[in-house]
Amino acid sequence: MVKFLTSSITVLVMTIATIQAQTTTSTTAAATTTTAAATINVKDYPTINQIPPTNSAEVLAWLKEIDLTGAPNITIHTGQPPSCPNPPIADECYWTCDGCSSDDIVACARPNTWGLTFDDGPSTDTPVLLDYLKTKSIAATFFLIGSNVIQYPDTVKREIAEGHHLASHTWSHHALTTLTNEQIVAEMKWTEKAVLAATGLRMKYMRPPYGDINSRVRFVLKKLGYIPVDWTGDAYDTNDWQMPTMSEATVISTFTKSLDTYAASNKSQGFYCLEHDLNSLTVGVAQKLIPLGLAKNITIAPVPVCESDNQPYQLGGTAVIPTLSGATTTATATATISGSVTGSVTAVSAGASSTGKSASSSASESRVSQGLILAAAGLAGLVLA
């Protein structure tokens, strides 16, 4: 936990710095960004990188749609990230402090599979990562910060068009156990609104910033229809967020040891590890880590493929939901996009195995292989590596 708290502070500084830099180099608060899906007017959204107010007309309307009575009465924590309570709070099930994950997803359910995920984007460096993933025919889950979505909606749209999966990382990247129930709703729903405007899709999965989640936070998230995805423990933290304090060489050598340990296990489950498309350093090292997994014949997949989820988004969007079907361990699977497009998708599977669950403080990402996620409109198929 000491490692978690120290690392989380570093991530917070990096995230805020990056978001502030993006704010000054992108659209101004009054600017309007147009995509094929919709028009996003930045001034219609809360202040970037700030907890949204809970007394706005939008949030009040969202609160009327759900019933928060019955939420666990757990003390709201303080700090960014918060310190672990001492003594621990009974029945809090606080993942970052006591390792209690409840029914959060902490490991890829598919054997021998690396669930490839990237947090904190989109950023100005995300397109570079997308270019690389495209050359490798790899799909990932991107846990998006709403404040960044309204600045770079075209990048989000591209992620969908190229077969990636979108999930939430809240509006402002604040630790959720430090927020009220109403503030959690505001953080999630504003991000949902931004992604919906950019893509027409309503997200279903989320990752709590810093992995900061307890029973109260889970209660609110479930009321909103979200499934938390944590990660498979410290061993699968790539530590990319520590650069440049930590050298790239150290990041690579440390993660190589984790992959070696995994490859020597029975691999009955897969793993999720922590990576970011936050800046050029994290995007650069990702292009060196991914080949290490491929060299060990580890399949790479996004979250819905890991979890065999044929409906990776919530209902209520305005676009056709990309669906996952026929995700098997055979070399070829047939995929269908909501009855409109059918294609034959080749998946290069890499064997069968996995690691067990681990609750700690770092996360993992997913990539497509034994199955498929098809892009939303008109994409017939995706060759999976």
Active-site amino acid positions: 119, 276
CA-closest candidate to residue 348, choices 335, 361, 331, 365: 331
Contact 269, 354 (CB under 8 A): yes
Contact 268, 331 (CB under 8 A): no
Q: Give 98-102 contacts, CB < 8 A, sequence gap 24+.
A: 99/359, 99/360, 100/359, 101/230, 101/357, 101/359, 102/215, 102/218
Half-sphere exposure of 4 (CA within 13 A, CB side): 26
Q: Give the C-alpha distances (Å, rounded to integers) separating 138 from 57, 145, 255, 302, 360.
A: 41, 22, 19, 9, 27
At residue 336, φ and ψ (nearest 5 deg) are -130, 135
Which residue shows structure tokens 């996995």? 354
Q: Three-class SS of residue 185?
A: helix
Which residue shows structure tokens 């490859």? 263
Q: Give the C-alpha distances (Å, rounded to integers) separating 316 from 62, 201, 320, 339, 340.
A: 14, 8, 10, 17, 18
Q: How far is 181 from 225, CA to CA, in rounded Å? A: 15
Give the H or E element holding residue 168: strand 165-168
In the chain, count H helices and then E strands.
Answer: 11, 14
CA-closest candidate to residue 170, choices 146, 137, 138, 200: 146
Give the H or E element holding residue 333: strand 332-337
Amino acid identity for residue 87 in this structure? P
At residue 321, φ and ψ (nearest 5 deg) are -80, 125
